[in-house]
């Protein structure tokens, strides 16, 4: 499982970078919360493909089932990211009123993303891409 964790961190880091970087231009055309959720969606698409292809290679269940569980795990993760990011943004702007809004948003979003990493790993490892014993082929 050690190599799996390293692959998860690399794949998750890539998806996180996509998420974090996508929010910046999205924030120019929509409110912070909407930009955060749109960027989270883009990061989810990237992470599903990366996790399925490079991290959790041996998994049970159909693609449809994996997508459903992936969305369920990430719905919880999106709630955590949104709650942590907006709470931290409110705190940063209250405590440091001279801090540029864009910097406060970037910091709050980064901490929000980081807050869900362990939960996402466990959720995807135990639910979405769970490995299990495969039935032996039936002989005729």
**Angle CA 49–54–59, to nearest 5:** 85
For the chain, what are the domain ranges?
A: 2-128
Other beta carbons less than 10 A from residue 108's beta carbon: 23
Contact between residue 111 and residue 85 where contact means Cβ atoms under 8 Å apart: yes
Report the alpha-carbon distance of residue 57 to residue 133 in Å, rounded. 14
3-state secondary structure 11-48: HHHHHHHHHHHHHHHHHHHCCHHHHHHHHHHHHHHHHH
Residue 101 CA: distances (Å) to CA of 33, 55, 104:
14, 36, 5
pLDDT attached to residue 20: 92
pTM over 0.85: no
pLDDT attached to residue 35: 95
Q: What tens-digit pLDDT sequence spans the chain (140 residues)?
A: 678 888 888 998 999 899 999 999 999 999 999 999 999 899 999 999 898 888 877 666 788 888 888 899 888 888 888 999 999 999 999 999 898 999 999 999 999 988 877 778 788 888 888 765 333 344 44
pLDDT attached to residue 2: 76
pLDDT attached to residue 21: 95
pLDDT attached to residue 100: 92
Other beta carbons less than 10 A from residue 77's beta carbon: 23
pLDDT attached to residue 19: 92
Tokens of 43: 């990061």
């Amino acid at each position: 499982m050690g190599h799996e964790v390293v692959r998860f961190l690399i794949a998750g880091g890539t998806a996180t970078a996509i998420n974090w970087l996508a929010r910046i231009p999205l924030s120019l055309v929509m409110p912070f919360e909407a930009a955060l959720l749109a960027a989270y969606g883009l990061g989810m698409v990237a992470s599903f493909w990366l996790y399925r292809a490079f991290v959790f290679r041996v998994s049970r269940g159909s693609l449809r089932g994996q997508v459903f569980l992936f969305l369920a795990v990430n719905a919880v993760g999106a709630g955590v990211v949104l709650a942590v990011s907006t709470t931290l943004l409110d705190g940063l702007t209250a405590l440091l009123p001279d801090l540029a809004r864009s910097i406060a948003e970037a910091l709050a979003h980064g901490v929000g993303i980081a807050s869900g990493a362990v939960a996402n790993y466990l959720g995807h490892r135990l639910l979405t891409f769970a490995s299990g014993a495969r039935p032996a082929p039936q002989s005729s």
